[in-house]
Amino acid sequence: MGFHKGNRFRTGMMVGLAATAMAAAVTPVLSQQNTQTIARYTMDAGTLSGMAAMTQGGQGGGLGGIMNMMRGGGGGVAHELTLRLGSTQSAQGSPAADHFMPQGAGLGASVPLVTPSRRTGQSDDDSEPGMPGNAEMPRGRLLLFWGCGERAGAGQPVVIDFARMARGEIPPGLFAQGLDLPEDWQVMVSNSTTYGDWPNSRSTASLTAQSSLLGAHRVVGNYSPEISFNLAEDFMPGLNPAGIDLASGATRMRWNHLDKATGYYAWSIGAGQNNGDMVWWTSSSSQSFGGPFADWISPAAARSYVEAGQLMEPGTTECVIPAEARAAGGQAMMTSLYAYGPQVNFTYPERPQNAPASWRPEWIARVRFRSMAMMIPGMEAMMGGRDTTGRQSRQADPAPAEPAGLPRCRGGLRGIAERAAGLCQ
């Protein structure tokens, strides 16, 4: 989850650039016969539910979300939004850009897209602390399970030794294949002459559960052409999953049906029974580890992954975590569920009919949607909650509550997996 370049989690959070300042930044007039696309812009809009919503502010998040869960309440959601602007042009002066939002977003008139300052010795490869190369030699093993069903399939688990992986001994077929689809391009510092993003350290604005993206959007900066478009798609509903332990030792996970979902993916991570071991389970019908599934995925890519059995069908509302994976992973298996949703694309100028292969718009913009939830199967029973069907959840041995503060992630592949699962920071 999130191990491939461009598929990492990014978060961050002051005051937007004033509209008058943006008006003073004159954008060059561009020809509609331009030979390259000047600017690329992405909006990734997510809905969080379950334990994932508790980490966000607003209704359904923070302390209120935790108390609501302990009282057996459900349906709380939070929203997340990531904005990235990349341009082939250098800024006229210090880089500056703003995204002017519809009023319903609740973010004020605009939010600033901040260009990160480069630290001495920092490269352009978008690397992050804790990745291999900066890390200690990992210890322990990774036990891989996959597939929905009460019993794990033949050949499971596949056991991976961390130390051998760190030495470059990668088992064949370990990582999911066919992940780099052309439509899933990324905007990064490394592939932009000038780059800006939000959230960032200069903005204190935050979304609420009532925030809406419907309406007019405008992006103005001094290193890109003005980008404007109207959104008719909005945040997806929450998944609000719940787990029911079965007599076999497996756990049936159920969630809300989302009309616009293009596919679903679930995965769990837990501490193994032997010291230093980790257990990783995914809903994929074949052995799967890593890949883009913690990111936003286009409908076209989702169709390909559904056909390959790596994502569950759009109409799916339940998946059973096998008894063997649950037994190996212990009671507190952190489980993540993703529903991938619509994507809206904009260009200027609009693509003409019978456009030649050499045609390039001045800018392109992409808005992607998803809904994501986190849970510890069985925790609902300990807190008196109910599953999404209204029946009382049950578990023979209640899982311990997650500590309030997350520890620092350790180095190596184990730290990468724990960071992806939200078990450390």
Residue 138: predicted pLDDT: 60
Q: What is the pLDDT of residues 3-17, one digit of tens each?
A: 333 333 332 322 232
Q: The whole model's pTM is what?
A: 0.76
- Owner of token pair 């650039």: 17
Cα-only R_g, the chain: 22
Specify whether the CB–CB gap between 292 and 179 falls below 8 A: yes
Confidence (pLDDT) at 298: 93
As given in the structure block, the two tokens for residue 75 are 């349906």
Measure the CA–CA gap between 365 and 84, rounded to whole angstroms: 10
The pLDDT assigned to 39 comes to 98
Three-state DSSP at 279 gives: strand
Whether 409 and 424 have beta carbons less than 8 Å apart is answered as yes
d(CA 28, CA 113): 19
pLDDT (0 to 100) of residue 19: 29
Residue ranges of E strands in 88-179: 97-100, 110-112, 141-146, 158-161
Q: Write down the residue that tokens 């230093």 correspond to.
A: 276
- Give the chain's residues under pLDDT 70: 1-35, 55-75, 118-138, 171-183, 290, 378-425
Q: Which helix (H) or strand (E) holds 278?
A: strand 278-282
Query: Phi/psi zone of residue 130: left (φ > 0), alpha (ψ -120 to 50 degrees), beta?
Result: left
pLDDT at 337: 97
